[in-house]
């Protein structure tokens, strides 16, 4: 008999949080929850060997491999001076298993007090200037799915009608830009659209997304971003361009090439990410207020902006021609 998908609930969060605490006894002391999509190498983010727990060990989680033939896993360990909880690989809504396996890890991390959450995945570029191997930082997004991840979650939310107009935390974004610049990575600030299904988008779908204002396209990230923000977390998201869909002359896109690009581009990114995490965690309260320019993502792309932080954490934009 077919079972209905599990539902996220207070009881489910308690069970998942207890499971994580049993595997990682001091996980309530963590500074961040990070979620990496398939393909990325992440061990270089840790300064010592992390503890590991299969994602399937959490209550109600599916046991089968993902469509990329992976078994997602949770890792807990030190990143320089802080401790982080990392999900390597994740479940996808397009697997047809419902939202529960997609949202339970971040929700359990939130339950344990990990209220800074960063999501990293791959994407398809819709702009000629965004090349394969370029990093992007999300400043806004479009939900191409038919529903919201918050449907039915009102009892779990601090506020039943969360404001998504500033869902991606500028203070996290600015620190990520600063730190990645030190390792030679200049992420482009972009609008992302999530599209249902595992297929690579058609040319018409790519053109429709462009007409809606999207510069990059993927099948994940949005459900997690909305939910983490609604729980009250500080949220940031980055996407690596794995391929381009910029016109009728484009070459055929293969999933394996996207995964290989993720692996190839992981090393320097992890070095910059570790710097950003430790800089953010070391800040005193109140958190840094970033001076990200008030502009649309397409304007920011043309200006190629980076930021520099002084010793007092005040940010000054540096405009590079």
CATH number for the segment(s) 18-319: 3.40.50.1580
Q: Of 108, 82, 98, 86, which is closest to residue 9 (Cα–Cα)?
A: 108
CA 78 – CA 81 distance, rounded (Å): 7
Mean predicted lDDT score pLDDT of the chain: 87
Q: Is the peptide bond before 286 cis (omega within 30 degrees of 0)?
A: yes
In the block, tokens 């992981």 appear at 266
In the block, tokens 């393909």 appear at 39
Residue 92 backbone phi and psi in degrees, to 5: -110, 140
pLDDT digits (tens, 9 = 90+) for 47-69: 999 999 999 999 999 999 998 89
Q: What is the predicted pLDDT for the residue at 4?
A: 52
Cβ–Cβ < 8 Å for 45, 273: yes
Tell me the longest C-alpha to C-alpha distance in the chain: 62
Q: What is the predicted pLDDT for the residue at 302?
A: 43
Q: How confident is the model at residue 299 (pLDDT cuts 50, 70, 90)?
A: very low
Res 130 pLDDT > 50: yes
pTM of the model: 0.86
Q: Residue ranges per domain, the chain? A: 18-319
Q: What is the predicted pLDDT for the residue at 7?
A: 84
pLDDT digits (tens, 9 = 90+) for 99-117: 999 999 999 999 999 999 9
Cβ–Cβ < 8 Å for 139, 188: no
| 64 CB-contact burial (10 Å; exposed 0-12 / middle 13-18 / buried 19+) | exposed
Q: Of 279, 286, 271, 285, which is closest to residue 310 (Cα–Cα)?
A: 279
Residues shown for the chain: 321
């Amino acid at each position: 008999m077919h079972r209905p998908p599990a539902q996220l609930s207070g009881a489910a969060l308690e069970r998942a949080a207890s499971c994580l605490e049993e595997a990682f006894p001091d996980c309530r002391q963590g500074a961040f929850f990070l979620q990496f999509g398939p393909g990325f190498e992440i061990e270089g983010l840790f300064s010592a060997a992390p503890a590991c727990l299969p994602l399937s060990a959490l209550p109600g989680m599916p046991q089968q491999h993902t469509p990329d033939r992976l078994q997602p896993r949770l890792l807990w360990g030190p990143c320089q001076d802080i401790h982080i909880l990392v999900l390597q690989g994740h479940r996808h809504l397009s697997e047809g298993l419902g939202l529960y396996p997609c949202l339970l890890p971040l929700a359990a991390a939130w339950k344990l007090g990990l209220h800074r959450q960063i999501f990293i995945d791959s994407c398809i570029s819709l702009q000629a200037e965004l090349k394969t191997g370029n990093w992007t930082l999300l400043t806004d997004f479009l939900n191409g799915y038919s529903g919201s991840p918050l449907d039915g979650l009102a009892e779990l939310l601090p506020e039943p009608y969360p404001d998504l107009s500033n869902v991606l935390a500028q203070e996290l974004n600015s620190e990520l830009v600063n730190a990645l610049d030190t390792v030679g990575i200049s992420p482009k600030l972009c609008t992302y659209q999530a599209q249902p299904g595992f297929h690579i988008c058609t040319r018409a779908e790519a053109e429709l997304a462009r007409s809606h204002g999207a510069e990059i396209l993927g099948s994940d990230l949005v459900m997690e971003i909305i939910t983490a923000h609604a729980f009250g977390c500080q949220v940031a998201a980055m996407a690596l361009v794995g391929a381009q869909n910029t016109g009728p002359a484009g070459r055929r896109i293969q999933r394996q090439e996207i995964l290989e690009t993720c692996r190839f581009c992981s090393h320097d990114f992890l070095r910059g990410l570790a710097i950003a995490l430790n800089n953010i965690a070391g800040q005193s309260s109140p958190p840094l207020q970033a001076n990200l320019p008030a502009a649309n993502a397409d304007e920011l792309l043309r200006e190629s902006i980076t930021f520099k932080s002084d010793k007092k954490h005040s940010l000054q934009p540096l405009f590079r021609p």
